[in-house]
Amino acid sequence: MIIRCRSAHWLILRLWRKAAPEAAAAPPRMECRSAAVSSLSWALVVGGAAYLLRQTRRCGEYGRYAQPGGRCWPAGPAWFLQEVPSFLVPLLLLGSAEPGSGTGRSLLVWIFMLHYFYRSCIYSLLTRGRPVPLKIICSSVVFCSLNGFLQGHHLLHCAHLQHTWLTGARLSAGVLVFAVGLTINIHSDHILRNLRKPGEYVYRIPRGGMFELVSGANFFGEITEWCGFALAAWSFPAFAFAFFTICSIGPRAYHHHRYRSVPYFRIRHTEQRFWLGSGLGFSSG
């Protein structure tokens, strides 16, 4: 009996020593925080609706609508700082994902990150926009951090994808719509950027590309992106984010479009005239 106990003890000890290095090397795995996912998703829906109502009375105070005074940062560093959390947070979450969690999950996370890599690392270097108010930067950092966690955590730790999902039409259609939206967005940014010389802050009506069909092609492209992402992911968090995007930049596009009815404005203390354009509505010529 004593010999058998010693043998069993020796076998358990040997197995433990063999498994211990592997257990120590394994990264910690995060569990699905379903309550947090649900709360953040509903916050996007409610917050988007509230922001939509607010913008029916007054547009967001940045860019051409920024109020004079207050602390501002140059556009390039501001765009980098406020957008990069939506790239870095999912990237960190990829490291906590369970090995072999699925190509589809990682694909959607990388698609999400692709937009924010462009916004933070490429667009921020090229933009010629106005300085951004510090309060806008702070609120954007918070939003991008939470939304980056929401989308990345849900896809990597909560989503249950069927085996046929990766080859399904919904994913292909969603990725295609996202790619079309991203292309429109990047090309529209290029057109808008070339309307100005370095250091200029004038506004002119853009021409070319999708601006021939819609007067706010940059907004249209971004909305198309996130609708495609929602179609591909087919999840509440993704649809909530698409809804928030429509509610946040849709009214801004409308406020831009309104200025088409005004032929020109005079810049204060100068005789220079400049056009105000852009909006999500369809152009009338």
The set of long-range contacts for 96-100, using a CB threshold of 8 Å and a minimum separation of 24, is 96/27, 96/28, 96/29, 96/30, 96/156, 96/157, 97/156, 97/157, 98/29
Cβ-count burial of 68 within 10 angstroms (0-12 exposed, 13-18 middle, 19+ buried)?
Answer: exposed
* Burial per residue of 228-253, b for 16 or more beta-carbon CB atoms within 10 angstroms, e otherwise: bbbbbbbbbbbbbbbbbbbbbbbbbb
What one-letter code names the amino acid at 157? Answer: H
Cβ-count burial of 160 within 10 angstroms (0-12 exposed, 13-18 middle, 19+ buried)?
Answer: exposed
pLDDT tens for 26-70 read: 445 678 999 999 999 999 999 999 998 888 776 555 555 556 667
Pairing of β 265-266 and β 132-133:
unpaired
Q: Which of 17, 28, 131, 40 is nearest to 77 (CA)?
A: 131
pLDDT tens for 145-158 read: 999 999 999 999 99
- What pLDDT is recorded for position 264? 41
Provide the residue ranges of all domains of the chain, joining segments of one domain with +.
33-274
What mean pLDDT comes out for the span 89-106? 79
Higher pLDDT, 8 or 177: 177
Q: What is the distance between the alpha carbons of residues 105 and 156, in angstroms, rounded to a whole number?
A: 6
pLDDT at 285 over 50: no
E-strand ranges in 67-115 read 72-73
pLDDT tens for 204-262 read: 778 888 888 887 889 999 999 999 999 999 999 999 999 999 999 888 776 666 655 54
- What pLDDT is recorded for position 224? 97
pLDDT tens for 99-141 read: 655 677 889 999 999 999 999 999 999 998 888 999 999 999 9
What mean pLDDT comes out for the span 278-285? 42
- What pLDDT is recorded for position 164? 75
Higher pLDDT, 166 or 201: 166
What one-letter code names the amino acid at 147? Answer: N
Residue 102 phi/psi, 5° resolution?
125, 135
Residue 149 near residue 93 (C-beta atoms within 8 A)? yes
pLDDT tens for 66-86 read: 566 678 899 999 999 999 999
Confidence of residue 19 (pLDDT cuts 50, 70, 90): very low
- What pLDDT is recorded for position 90? 97
Q: What is the distance between the alpha carbons of residues 128 and 197, in angstroms, rounded to a whole number?
A: 8
